[in-house]
DNA sequence: ACTTTTCGACTGACCGGTCGGTCAAAATAT
DNA sequence: ATATTTTGACCGACCGGTCAGTCGAAAAGT
């Protein structure tokens, strides 16, 4: 089979470019990074980039999707299988996401570039929609866990599940934002304590 | 007195430019906005802009400081005077900030541009420092309120005040982020409910 | 041989920042 | 009161540099 092999190669090079672009965009921002920079970093010619992506915007969006995919995996890994108390699973999810991002704090600058793209890029609506879906997905996962906890009699049933889910998901953004600006801010520790407060508020007593 | 009147005029025009720049930057982002755009929007010549600001970067930073000032006022107004229960004052602060931003949701795109500037602008350290200070200020205000509540016997004393403050302050960012992407997300309502959870977690019982 | 992929020189649009000229009003002289 | 000079805010044409995207030629693959 040649075609798949061909496709495979294509796909590999595409990923190579995306990873290079990810680094360079993270370093210099969307506007600050030039296609020439990215191509040089990837060790290819400038023109080659355009064999795989139609435009700079297009490449940037591909980088975006790639990272959405990655973090979505970090969120769900180790959680879905596990069948213990809901509070344990929420804590596990919390820890998994914290660790994922603390490890790659350097790419958090990209997240801010993506947010900005949702506000003023040419394809802002495209980014907005993708973020909207992603946040919904994350809130959905948390909601299910909370709902499960309620049904097990672990959590109070008079809480607004959607609101708390938004709060918990939001706390992740919040921790990274504050950690980004302040090196002395302990992201993982503060995140854990915030989760504890949420769990205390949810607890049946 | 001639000099102050002169200064006054200067100051007025500076503000005029800042406000125009604020609109245009919010609309098109830092890179997308041209000085020509901004000058046209302000109804002045391009060259005039440079009588008041050294560079585009400089102007953008002025816009940033202007908004930091504004939101800082929105945070503290109605709170410092009031002497009721700490939980009431926290709720008041929550509501004041929510209302301030919900009213001017359109400028939230600027916030994201500022965040991005802290990551990849030429003067990223400048922005980072300013954000660090601002977040510390906000966390400080919340901390004092919580501390006060603990001393009044309103709140439990075995909580990590700094962590909860970070959580509460972070929730504001979080609500606006999620509201930004999703029109059907009720920022004010969800914010209120999250604050309620935090207060429940803090409550002496 | 010929097809596919890679490449980087080139182009044209764009834009930040400069600068010499203009003009109205303030200061000064008569 | 009127004429003359000085000032500096204001302007936009212009310059120099940058960079996304193109394209034809060279290299690699088959």
Identify whether residues B3 and B97 lie together within a single domain: no
The reply to whether the CB atom of residue A112 sits less than 7 A from any atom in nucleic acid chain D is no
Chain-wide mean pLDDT for chain B?
91
Chain-wide mean pLDDT for chain A?
91
Q: What percent of chain B has pLDDT over 90?
A: 78
pLDDT at B21: 98
Q: Residue B119: give its domain's CATH number.
A: 1.10.357.10
For residue B79, pLDDT over 90 is answered with: no
Identify whether residues A61 and A40 lie together within a single domain: no
Give the distance, in angstroms, between residue A34 CA and nucleotide D18 C1'.
10
Residue A1 to residue A10: CA distance in whole angstroms: 15
Q: Which residues of B touch A181 (CB under 8 A)?
A: 118, 128, 131-132, 135
Mean pLDDT of all residues in A124-133 = 97
Give the distance, in angstroms, between residue B47 CA and nucleotide D9 C1'.
10
Identify whether residues A86 and A112 lie together within a single domain: yes
Band (A59; pLDDT cuts 50, 70, 90): very high
What is the CA angle A126-A129-A130, rounded to 5? Answer: 85
Band (A5; pLDDT cuts 50, 70, 90): low
Number of domains into which chain B is organized: 2
- Chain B 124-143, CB below 8 Å of chain A: which residues? 128, 131-132, 135-136
For residue B5, pLDDT over 80 is answered with: no
Name residues whose C-beta falls within 8 Å of residue B3's C-beta, 6 or more positions apart in sequence. none
Mean pLDDT of all residues in A185-190 = 96
Give the distance, in angstroms, between residue A152 CA and nucleotide D11 C1'.
73
Measured between CB atoms, does B116 come within 8 Å of chain A? yes
**Maximal C-alpha separation, chain B:** 64
Identify whether residues B90 and B6 lie together within a single domain: no
pLDDT at A2: 35
Identify whether residues A183 and A158 lie together within a single domain: yes
The domain of B123 spans 60-202
Identify whether residues B147 and B118 lie together within a single domain: yes
Identify whether residues A82 and A40 lie together within a single domain: no
H-helix or E-strand spanning residue A40: helix A35-42
Q: Please name which of A109, A103, A100, A111 lies closest in space to residue A74, comparing C-alpha atoms.
A: A100
Band (B4; pLDDT cuts 50, 70, 90): very low
Q: Which nucleotide is closest to B57, CA to C1'?
A: C16
Identify whether residues B166 and B140 lie together within a single domain: yes
Q: Residue A7: give its domain's CATH number.
A: 1.10.10.60
Considering only CB atoms, B109 lies closest to which of A120, A160, A198, namely A120
């Amino acid at each position: 089979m040649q075609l798949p092999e061909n496709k495979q190669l294509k796909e590999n090079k595409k990923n190579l470019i995306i990873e290079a672009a990810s680094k360079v965009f993270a370093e210099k921002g969307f506007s600050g990074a030039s296609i020439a920079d990215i191509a040089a970093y990837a060790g290819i010619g400038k023109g080659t980039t355009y064999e795989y992506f139609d435009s700079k915007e297009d490449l940037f969006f591909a980088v975006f999707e790639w990272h959405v995919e990655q973090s979505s995996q970090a969120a769900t890994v180790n959680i879905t299988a596990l069948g213990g108390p809901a509070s344990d699973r929420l804590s596990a999810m919390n820890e998994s996401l914290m660790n994922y991002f603390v490890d790659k704090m350097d790419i958090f600058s990209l997240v801010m570039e993506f947010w900005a793209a949702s506000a003023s890029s040419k394809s802002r609506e495209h980014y907005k929609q993708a973020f909207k879906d992603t946040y919904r997905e994350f809130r959905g996962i948390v909601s299910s866990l909370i709902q499960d906890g309620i049904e097990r009699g672990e959590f109070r049933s008079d809480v607004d599940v959607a609101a708390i889910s938004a709060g918990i998901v939001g706390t992740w953004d919040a921790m990274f934002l504050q950690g980004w600006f302040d090196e002395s801010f302990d992201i993982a520790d503060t995140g854990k304590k915030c989760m504890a407060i949420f769990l205390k508020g949810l607890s049946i007593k």
